[in-house]
Chains A and B, each alone.
Chain A
Amino acid sequence: MANIALDDDTAVVVIGSGAGGGTLANELCQKGIKVVVLEAGAHESAATFQNDEWGSFGQLSWLDKRTTSGSWRVARDFSGLPAWICKTVGGSTTHWAGASLRIQEHEFKALTNYGKLEGANLLDWPLTLQDLEPYYDKAENKMGVTRTNGIPGLPGNNNFKVMYDGAKKLGYKDCHTGRMAINSRKRDGRAHCRQLGFCFQGCKMDAKWSTMNSEIPKAEKTGNLDLRPKAQVVKIEHDKSGKVNAVVYADADGNLHKQKARVVCVAGNSIETPRLLLNSESGKYPDGLANSSGQVGRNYMRHMTGSVYATFDEPVHMWRGTTMAGIITDEGRHDPSRGFVGGYEMETLSLGLPFMAAFLDPGGWGRDFCRAMDNYANMAGMWLVGEDMPQETNRITVHASEKDQYGMPVPNVNFDDHPNDIAMREHAFGQGRAIYEAAGANQVYPVPPYPSTHNLGTCRMSAKAADGVANGNGQTHDIDNLFISDGSQFTTGAAENPTLTIVTLAIRQADYISRQMSLKAI
């Protein structure tokens, strides 16, 4: 591992070690570029991960103070926890379920294909599927995605059997165990999946790809990486010309340090990334860094989500095995005849008994609640995930008075569903119900969205500087050596789980940064 001096101004500083930051750091290190990664969380491992939902939640989650507003139910039921994302080396790739789907061609041109929708701030991406295809290929190979590169699919578990039976009876054509970044065979020095059923808690087999178990160790082997866990960035600084030149962070003891930088890449997930840009306001940038458009923090997307659980007369034991190895993609198409634009995916999902109690009906109690829990062993479950509409008022702002432990304003997350999101959710609930009833369900439970796991769009890419924060390479329109390297740069949300695309964009961005550095453009 490299030991890069605080006053060394030749390194790239990457903030965050998740899907975007961890991948970008490794790709740069492989090209011989020195990288400092500042990660707010601690360094856990397969050995320290826990098959225990609440225990793991306390170990991996980002639990620093956040506030919420808006009409979404999360603001009522989980007012201090708008998002279920991670503060740990590897970021939310420790927690993700592994579903790895490419964004569809039409979804990159959402404005063109969906048209103007009232209240929606739709825009076409400044890049196309064709631009990304070579990088998707690299990402799938890197992550070992099943059903790509000759890698067999995962064996389906009991929960998948129920989904599959209902899907076939309904006439769905495309239902299988998914494209998963989870080894179905030993690969890349990592074991195959043993069907533990604790994908969300950090994979104790290391069968699931994460930046913690793949990108970061590979980057360390190059000798170019200086990874600093428990380093919470509080501010990015700039020189007189406006270029960023240093990052201020607090160490585990709360002591502040300043790391000089040639290039700064922000990958703190879509709440922390805009918060950091806003908290880095200065005389030259009074509205925060890279915010001449006023779009920093806006267009926050969290996917249209929901879950459907159903109980049956016979046991399912849905918690046994890979949590999300099961998908129906038929509803992923854009087909406005359903009453909404964009599409959604249906994916198997299971929660253990402790989290089922917390999430089945947040705030729930009484005989109906208990009846559902009494039938837990006979329950099957699926997650619904679809494209939600970017809205300018769905927004991360910094709080006027509430401060974190370092004295920095905490983020507020404001969110309202767009009518399109609501129409899509109602449709998805109906189809989920139909699937389970076809498979013989005796009771179906539509479940509202959990705290957001997919957080997107708050520093979006745009062709024109006035419409967004970054260009098609994630380079901010305003500051050449400042990059957005996580899901914040998504122009629109698309229906697919975002991690594969975040990794793909990071690989592509590393090529761009490396070229720009060679050309001395940055």
Chain B
Amino acid sequence: MKQTSIEVNAPGALTRRRFLKTGSGVLMGTLMATGGTLAALAPSHTWALTMNALTDAEGDKLLKVTRAIFPHDTLDDAVYALVVKDLDGAAANDADVAKLLRAGLAELDVRASGNWVGLDYLARENIVIKMAGTDFFEKIRGTSVVSLYNNEMAWAHFGYEGSSYEMGGYFDRGFQDLNWLPDPDAGASPAKA
């Protein structure tokens, strides 16, 4: 269930892939942050996600819906794209899922009385919130709660450090480095071995 990275391509590769792939879409983006831990994980500042069942316009719209349900203002689109990847994968495996997603995306435009994507992000969010409890909303929420937070880019963003065994655990790496509170008595918390 864990994805460790999305496809991150140099611009040339991206162009070639888009050229070769005509039936379905390629979702592209540029990392918001040009420095820091997230950028360090990526070999390039652009990313691309090849869509299998959905078009790139549908993928882009799903990404924005996911942002509206889980609005982390500074979390990069590249992480939300992992949710889109899993939704697209589910749609490729199950025609009912594809139908559910397409119907939900169409419903957004109905509720927006026009082009939902063209609205500003708060207006988009308000429309999505009103769809809470629908199968469409629940499918995206349920997928996101795993896909959005179970990848190394999200861990870097939120500060979680993931697997520690390979680094010898935290025994010598800060398991008791909190320094804004006094240390407990030695009786309560004995010195380490």
Which size bracket describes the interface of B in this complex?
Answer: 35 or more
**CB under 8 Å from chain A, chain B span 162-193:** 162-165, 168-171, 173-178, 180-184, 187-193
The CA of A440 and the CA of B182, in the complex, are separated in Å by 13
- Could you pull out 25 A-B pairs where Cβ atoms are within 8 angstroms? A52-B162, A58-B1, A152-B190, A155-B175, A155-B191, A155-B193, A157-B175, A158-B176, A176-B188, A177-B189, A184-B193, A192-B193, A194-B169, A196-B165, A204-B165, A205-B169, A317-B177, A319-B160, A320-B173, A321-B175, A353-B160, A357-B145, A358-B146, A373-B149, A376-B160
CA distance A402 to B5 in the complex (A): 39
CB <8 Å contact, A195 and B170? yes
Selected interface stretch from A102-110, A113-121, A247-255, A361-369: A361-369
A53 to B164 CA separation, bound complex (whole angstroms): 12
- For the complex, what is the distance from the CA of A205 to the CA of B187, rounded to whole Å? 25
Give the number of A-B contacts (CB < 8 Å).
164
Q: Are B150 and A354 in contact (CB under 8 A)?
A: yes
Q: A157-B176, A176-B189, A366-B69 are in contact. Are A194 and B168 (CB under 8 A)?
A: yes
Interface residues of B in 135-149 (CB under 8 A from A): 141, 144-146, 148-149
Shortest C-beta distance, B46 to chain A (Å), equals 26
Give chain B interface residues in 1-53, CB to chain A under 8 Å.
1-2
A442 CB to closest chain B CB (Å) equals 13
Instruction: Say yes or no: B176 contacts A376, CB within 8 Å.
Output: no
A185: CB under 8 A from chain B? yes
Chain B residues closer than 8 Å to A156, beta-carbon distance: 176, 184, 188-189
C-alpha gap A164/B146 in the complex (Å):
32
Within 8 A of B (CB), among A151-179: 152-158, 160-162, 164-165, 175-177
In the docked arrangement, what's the CA distance between A194 and B168, Å? 7
* In the complex, A137 has a CB within 8 A of chain B: no
In the complex, the chain B residue whose C-beta lies closest to that of A203 is B165
- Contact check, A51 vs B146: say whether CB atoms are below 8 A apart: no
B72 touches A370 (CB 8 A): yes
Q: Does B159 contact A (CB under 8 A)?
A: yes
Which residues of chain A from 413 to 441 have any CB-CB distance to chain B below 8 Å in the complex?
439-440
Nearest Cβ in chain A — how far from B122, in angstroms? 11
Q: How far is the CA of A319 from the CA of B158 in the complex (A)?
A: 13
B163 touches A51 (CB 8 A): yes
CA distance A367 to B181 in the complex (A): 29
- B181, A162: Cβ atoms closer than 8 Å: yes
CA distance A206 to B192 in the complex (A): 18
Interfacial chain A residues near B158, Cβ < 8 Å: 353, 373-374, 376-377
Q: Which of A51, A315, A353 has the most CB of B within 10 A?
A: A353
- Which B positions have Cβ atoms within 8 angstroms of A? 1-2, 69-72, 129, 132, 141, 144-146, 148-150, 154-155, 158-165, 168-171, 173-178, 180-184, 187-193
Question: Is chain A's binding surface mostly helix, strand, loop or mixed?
Answer: loop
Please determine whether B178 and A161 come into contact, CB atoms closer than 8 angstroms.
yes
Chain A: number of interface residues, binned into ranges:
35 or more
- Cross-interface CB contact of B159 among A53, A154, A198, A376, cutoff 8 Å: A376
Q: Is the CB of A164 within 8 A of B150?
A: no
Please measure, in the bound complex, the distance between the C-alpha atom of A176 and the C-alpha atom of B184, giving whole angstroms: 9
Check A366 against B129 for contact (C-beta < 8 Å). yes
Find B160's partner among A58, A161, A175, A377 (CB 8 Å cutoff). A377
- Give the top 7 A-B pairs by smallest Cβ distance, nearest first: A156-B189, A377-B159, A194-B169, A51-B163, A321-B175, A353-B160, A357-B149
Q: Would you call A470 an interface residue if the criterion is a C-beta within 8 Å of the partner chain's C-beta atoms? A: no
Mark out the residues of chain A between 32 and 55 whose CB falls within 8 Å of any chain B CB in the assembled complex.
Answer: 50-55
Task: Tell me if A316 counts as interface (CB < 8 A to partner B).
Answer: yes
Complex Cα gap A139–B161 (Å): 35
Judge if A448 is at the interface, Cβ distance under 8 Å.
no
B70 engages A370 (CB within 8 Å): yes
- CB of A352 within 8 A of chain B? yes
Interchain CB contact under 8 A, B189 and A155: yes
Q: Does A197 belong to the interface (CB within 8 Å)?
A: yes
If over half of B's interface residues share one DSSP class (helix, strand or loop), that class is named, otherwise mixed; here it is: loop
What A residues does B191 contact at CB under 8 A?
155
Known: A157-B170, A320-B175, A352-B160. 16 other contacts (CB 8 A): A51-B165, A152-B193, A155-B189, A156-B184, A176-B189, A194-B168, A196-B165, A197-B170, A205-B169, A315-B159, A315-B178, A317-B177, A320-B170, A353-B160, A376-B160, A440-B181
Q: Quick check: B155 and A353 within 8 Å, CB to CB?
A: yes
Q: For residue A194, which residue of chain B has the nearest CB?
A: B169
A314 within 8 A of B: yes
Which residues in B have their C-beta under 8 angstroms from that of A55?
Answer: 1-2
Q: In the complex, A369→B141 CA distance in Å? A: 12
Q: Are A164 and B188 in contact (CB under 8 A)?
A: yes
In angstroms, Cα B176 to Cα A320, docked, is: 8
Chain A 49-72 interface 0/1 with B at a Cβ cutoff of 8 Å (1 = within): 011111100100000000000000
Chain A residue, CB-CB nearest to B145? A357
* Residue contact A317 to B150, C-beta cutoff 8 Å: no
- Cα(A440)–Cα(B69), bound, Å: 30
Cβ contacts under 8 Å, A365 to chain B: 69-70, 132, 141, 144-145
Contacts of A53 in B (CB 8 A): 150
Which of B144, B155, B160: most chain A Cβ within 10 A? Answer: B160
- Quick one: closest A residue to B150, CB to CB? A354
Known A194-B171, A352-B160, A373-B72; contact A357-B165, beta-carbon cutoff 8 A = no
Q: Which residues of A contact B184 (CB under 8 A)?
A: 156, 160-161, 164-165
Q: How does the 8 Å CB contact mask read for A127-168 relative to B, with 1 for contact and 0 for none?
A: 000000000000000000000000011111110111011000
Whether A374 pairs with B72 at a CB distance below 8 angstroms is: yes
Residues in A whose Cβ lies below 8 Å from that of B155:
353
State which of B144, B145, B181 has its C-beta within 8 Å of the C-beta of A165. Answer: B181
Note all chain B residues with C-beta closer than 8 A to A358. Answer: 145-146
Query: What separation, in Å, do the CA atoms of A356 and B132 have in the docked complex?
Result: 21
Give the distance to chain B from A227, nearest Cβ to Cβ, in Å. Answer: 26
Q: Which residues of chain A have C-beta atoms less than 8 A from B176's C-beta?
A: 155-158, 161, 321
Evaluate contact between B150 and A162: CB separation under 8 angstroms.
Answer: no
Q: Which residues of A contact B2 (CB under 8 A)?
A: 52, 54-55
